[in-house]
Structure 1
Amino acid sequence: MSDASPSPSAARLHAATEALYEAFAAPRPAKIEGCPCCTDPRNLDALLATPLRALTGDQLSRYVLGAFLTVGGKEDFRYLLPRIFDFSANDPGHLHDPETVLGKLALANWRSWSDTRQRAVEAFVDAWFETALARDLEEAATEDSWRLDQAESVLCGGARAGFPLEPWLLRLQEPDAAPVLEDLRARFPHDLSAFWEMAPEGLRELSMILTEARA
């Protein structure tokens, strides 16, 4: 019989996901406002009519892209945040990239939230980074791996949100993360995420570890 128990990183992400739902539990907003030229009221109404954990990536996709630009505000973003983050981290490829999702935190002024909610977000994103790194390392072990960028995406998104990058940059320099760090060095500076342009200070920090081994 095969061992079906989750990996340590997956178990940690699951626990952080549940903690996120608990920390952000709140009544549904009465309404989500949106630009009448850019949004369909029926789609916005569906976001509130559907139970939070039943919302799909398709339902959330347009909201995430337009959040704080053409649709929504801080109240509905906080309400939807656990499901948005859940989808983004646990089902990558079915919602927008981490750079976009995490970048919304800065627009939401998340550092003004309660300590409980801030800690839940911090723990979740840290678990997300570790899971993304594990996925990259799993990909590196295959014969057809060609790009290891899941951890980079979370790192860049975290930089856009104002997270301190030092703990994650130190993690990338640990021996077991070597394949991911080498991939980043090979892609630096012209083949990294385009979103680094929106986080220049984070890119400066990353570039320091990517260039230190070069002649």
Structure 2
Amino acid sequence: MEAQAPQVKPEIERLYEVFAAPRPAVVEFCDHCVDAADIAPFTTVPLRELSAEQVEKYWLKSGTVGDEAFVRYLLPRVLELIAAGELDVDFFWLRMATGTHERGDERKKRAIEEYFEATPRALAALVEEELRNGKGVDERLAEWLRRPEPLAVLEEAALTGPDPDGALSSAHLVLEAHLWSK
């Protein structure tokens, strides 16, 4: 019997569709700071096949690799790896998503919002980073966080799924307090 490939969530497919861009032929980088071998996969490996390890190398040297177009190209894979639990949701990846959301057109903004609605752990990290830590989100994302969907996503995830570190419950409380403060 042949093994079937894992099913990709529709929200992830939408990210790949909305942010579709050809694989870069060249990725600019500082050759004093970065080994060319660490950059090679970005120009030779299909986006959906980049491993978490390869993407992590970008994170480690992000200030010296690529440009804004490269960030938009890489974003669907980053968010897919986060959803799969292969990358941690940290401030850097969140900044990639929120920065792209802020500068994106309506389709891109909605695709990112749909991703957060479908990925409670990422949504919880967004709420913690942006609301609790006071980083501030762009006006559209702040407006979206005030809608009932994000709160419902966190509430359901906290009540029905594993939450060993309490991140989902904590983010739910932070978002709820944010809604009442407006």
Residues 151-170 of structure 1: pairs in structure 2 closer than 5 A? 152-157=124-129, 162=137, 163-164=141-142, 165-166=145-146, 167=148, 168-169=150-151
The amino acid that maps onto 1:95 is L
The amino acid that maps onto 1:52 is L
Identity of aligned residues (%): 28
Report Cα offsets for 1:161-214 as digits up to 9, x if no partner.
82323343465457973996xx4699x8xxx9xxxxxxxxxxxx928739x9xx
Distance 1:86 1:158, change over 3 A: farther
| Preserved CA contact (<8 Å) 1:97 1:153 | yes
- SS of structure 2 residue aligned to 1:95: coil
Residues 136-155 of structure 1: pairs in structure 2 closer than 5 A? 152-155=124-127
- SS of structure 2 residue aligned to 1:85: helix
Q: 2:70 maps to which residue?
A: 76
What's the CA shift for 1:60? 0.5
| Preserved CA contact (<8 Å) 1:87 1:95 | yes
Partners of 1:185 and 1:119 lie apart in 2 by: 22
**Structure 1 alignment gaps of length 5 or more:** 1-10, 133-149, 193-204
Partners of 2:168 and 2:43 lie apart in 1 by: 44
**Structure 2 alignment gaps of length 5 or more:** 1-6
Give the counterpart of 1:124 among 93, 98, 115.
115
| Preserved CA contact (<8 Å) 1:88 1:98 | no
Q: 1:42 maps to which residue?
A: 37
Partners of 1:61 and 1:50 lie apart in 2 by: 15
Give the counterpart of 2:56 among 61, 68, 76.
61
Give the counterpart of 1:177 among 136, 159, 169.
159
With structure 1 as the length reference, what TM-score do the two structures score? 0.59
The amino acid that maps onto 1:50 is V
| Preserved CA contact (<8 Å) 1:105 1:161 | no
Is residue 110 of structure 1 aligned with residue 78 of structure 2? no
Give the aligned CA root-mean-square deviation in angstroms: 3.7
Distance 1:27 1:174, change over 3 A: closer
The amino acid that maps onto 1:74 is E
Partners of 2:168 and 2:157 lie apart in 1 by: 15
Partners of 2:37 and 2:123 lie apart in 1 by: 35
With structure 2 as the length reference, what TM-score do the two structures score? 0.68
The amino acid that maps onto 1:206 is V
Partners of 1:39 and 1:177 lie apart in 2 by: 44
Report Cα offsets for 1:54-91 as digits up to 9, x if no partner.
11011100213433x2222111111111111101112x
Size of the alignment, in residue pairs? 160
